[in-house]
Amino acid sequence: MGAYDTYQTPLDSRYSSEEMKRLFGRRSRHGTWRKLWLWLAEAEKECGLDISDEAISQLASHLEVTDQDFELAAQEEKRRRHDVMSHVHVYGLSAPAAAGIIHAGATSCYITDNTELILMKDGLDLLLPKLARVIHILSEFAMKWRHEPTLGYTHYQPAQMVTVGKRAAGWIQDLMIDLEDIERAREDLKFRGAQGTTGTQASFMELFNGDEAKIDKLNVLLCEKAGFKDCYSVSTQTYTRKVDLRLANAITGLGATVQRLTSDIRHLANMKELEEPFEKDQIGSSAMAYKRNPMRSERLCSLGRKLASLPVNFSNTYTSQWLERSLDDSAIRRIDIPEMFLLADALLLGLENVANGLVVYPKRIDAHNREELPFMITENVIMKIVSKGGNRQDAHEKVRVLSHEAGHVVKHEGGQNDLIERIKKDEYFKPVWDELDEMMDPKLYIGRSANIVEKFCGQGSVVEQRLLPYKSYIEKAGTAELNV
């Protein structure tokens, strides 16, 4: 059977990066199993167990799992119905001097759980720089367009002016929250270590003749080798699945943010104010040749929806763990953990691609501004009349009536908004006639938008300081390319 004959997950074939796919691939996973067996033997030897140098050398020389090893392990698993023990057997064939001590004192979860923690740690280390780069790119965009007035929208109805950059700063702030949550999850992630079958370390008490100091030393050594600060203080047969839920809540929050952000882009694309990248030969629709559909943002909304839905699975898996452990966590975690990382990876690749090529149409934005600006300036008109001795209630009523008349022209006759012309013809407003044209400058109504962007995204800003740990990655990374 060829590659086109069997199902492939779209995350593999279309969306995710090669490095994330390799990380959660079989060779990486089972190679990590072998590292854990090597580290256990090394640590046990250092703590006093009689393990030969030759055994350690052979284990270290066969850390890569070959195609033949996988074939032998598959045969063994059919016979033994146990994936870990099938790989113990095959590893022992490659390292015969160590065959008798591989997995000594360990339970299967020493291998599977610790591997999952290592893969998740490494996966987070792949995601965080990519997220930082997206934030950096959008920060540059926000700074570039921080002065560009655009209509704000509340209830998806025109509201007070903002700027293109100010809106982008809101997206960035949400992504910064995701960055902080994922960083915290990465910082707090610990190791399971060598805890025995129900987390009592009884098997290691046997191995070390009751010497608890050696067991503690064993786990210190294992943490150092695996790159963790510490082990979880209490384990059952597994590390608590609350860890998976905690991690999922941090990562899947990104899915919600990306949906929120790209939905804004899709709405703005409909108004022809802003567009995602659109390639020279790209086809927007198979039937409607003129179309420029925001397919990248739509894809990101779709993938984001999937990622954001995952916490319920992790929650249900955690709550279903009876007493010291039940195996109904295994199959679902084999799917959900890699899928969570591949989804997050795909979202960051796609979002970087979109952010790097956003196109703004200032003239179209200005046209929309001027359609609504006559309504926007009415509060200022009222205040100017009051400052010149007029009655606020009288001015408000006259503006209300004239606004409704202008609105009728727009909605029922398809005409232009002629409110300013109506005000200029009404003698009541004569004291402010000369000021009306000056009041039609959109920049007068953006408040502190530009300053807000500069403080948040500019030189020496909150964003710049938070991204310093990722500076080298941001500077060297190229533009993300999408597979399709």
Q: In this structure, is residue 340 part of a structural domain?
A: yes
Q: In this structure, is residue 54 part of a structural domain?
A: yes
β-pair partners for 274: 360
Burial class (CB in 10 A: 0-12, 13-18, 19+), 31: middle
Q: In this structure, is residue 187 part of a structural domain?
A: yes
Q: What pLDDT shows up at residue 1?
A: 62
225 & 131 share domain: yes
Is 155 among the catalytic positions?
Answer: yes
Q: What pLDDT shows up at residue 13?
A: 79
Nearest CA-CA partner of 77 in 138, 30, 32: 30
Task: Please write the tens of the pLDDT for every residue from 402-446.
Answer: 999 998 998 999 988 899 999 999 999 999 998 988 889 999 999
Residues 413, 416, 419, 425: is their CA dihedral positive or negative?
Answer: negative
Q: What pLDDT shows up at residue 177?
A: 98
* 243: CATH: 1.20.200.10
Q: pTM higher than 0.85, yes or no? A: yes
Q: What is the extent of the structural domain holding 137?
A: 109-280+291-358+463-476
215 & 310 share domain: yes
Q: In this structure, is residue 100 part of a structural domain?
A: yes
Query: Which of these three, 78, 104, 130, is where a domain ends?
Result: 104
297 & 226 share domain: yes
Query: Which of these three, 43, 76, 104, is where a domain ends?
Result: 104
* 420: CATH: 1.10.40
427 & 469 share domain: no
DSSP codes of every residue in 49-101: ----HHHHHHHHHT-SPPHHHHHHHHHHHHHHS-HHHHHHHHHHHH-GGGTTT
- Mean pLDDT throughout 22-42? 96
DSSP codes of every residue in 74-87: HHHHHHHS-HHHHH
Task: Please write the tens of the pLDDT for every residue from 324-356.
Answer: 999 988 999 999 999 999 999 999 999 999 999
Backbone phi and psi for residue 197, each to the nearest 5 degrees, phi listed first: -75, -30
Query: Which of these three, 104, 121, 144, is where a domain ends?
Result: 104
Q: What pLDDT shows up at residue 376?
A: 84
Residue 8 one-letter amino acid:
Q
Compute the distance between CA of residue 235 and CA of residue 229 in angstroms, rounded to an integer.
Answer: 16
Q: In this structure, is residue 452 part of a structural domain?
A: no
Nearest CA-CA partner of 432 in 380, 481, 393, 396: 380
163 & 241 share domain: yes
Is 315 among the catalytic positions?
Answer: no
Q: To the nearest whole number, what is the mean pLDDT of the chain?
A: 92
* Residue in the block written with tokens 């597979």: 483
- Mean pLDDT throughout 196-206? 93
213 & 238 share domain: yes
16 & 125 share domain: no
Tell me the HSE value of 423 on the side-chain side, using a 13 A CA sphere. Answer: 28
Supply 421's token pair: 């012309």
Q: In this structure, is residue 261 part of a structural domain?
A: yes
* 28: CATH: 1.10.275.10
239 & 183 share domain: yes
Q: Could you give the residue ranges of the DSSP H alpha helices within 357-457?
A: 362-376, 378-387, 392-413, 419-425, 433-439, 449-457
Q: In this structure, is residue 132 part of a structural domain?
A: yes
Q: In total, how many domains does the chain have?
A: 3
Of all residues in the chain, the percent with pLDDT exceeding 70 is 95
Compute the distance between CA of residue 285 and CA of residue 303 in angstroms, rounded to an integer.
Answer: 21
35 & 53 share domain: yes
113 & 84 share domain: no
Nearest CA-CA partner of 230 in 217, 220, 240: 220
Q: What pLDDT shows up at residue 283?
A: 47
Contact 222, 111 (CB under 8 A): no
- Mean pLDDT throughout 130-147? 97
Compute the distance between CA of residue 321 and CA of residue 239 in angstroms, rounded to an integer.
Answer: 11
Q: In this structure, is residue 484 part of a structural domain?
A: no
Q: How far is CA 187 from the centre of its chain?
A: 17
430 & 471 share domain: no
- Of the residues 52, 57, 61, 285, only one is catalytic, namely 285
β-pair partners for 277: none
Burial class (CB in 10 A: 0-12, 13-18, 19+), 374: buried
Supply 373's token pair: 């600006």
* pLDDT beyond 70 at 194: yes
183 & 310 share domain: yes
- Mean pLDDT throughout 157-168? 95
pLDDT band at 99 (very low <50, low <70, confident <90, very high): very high
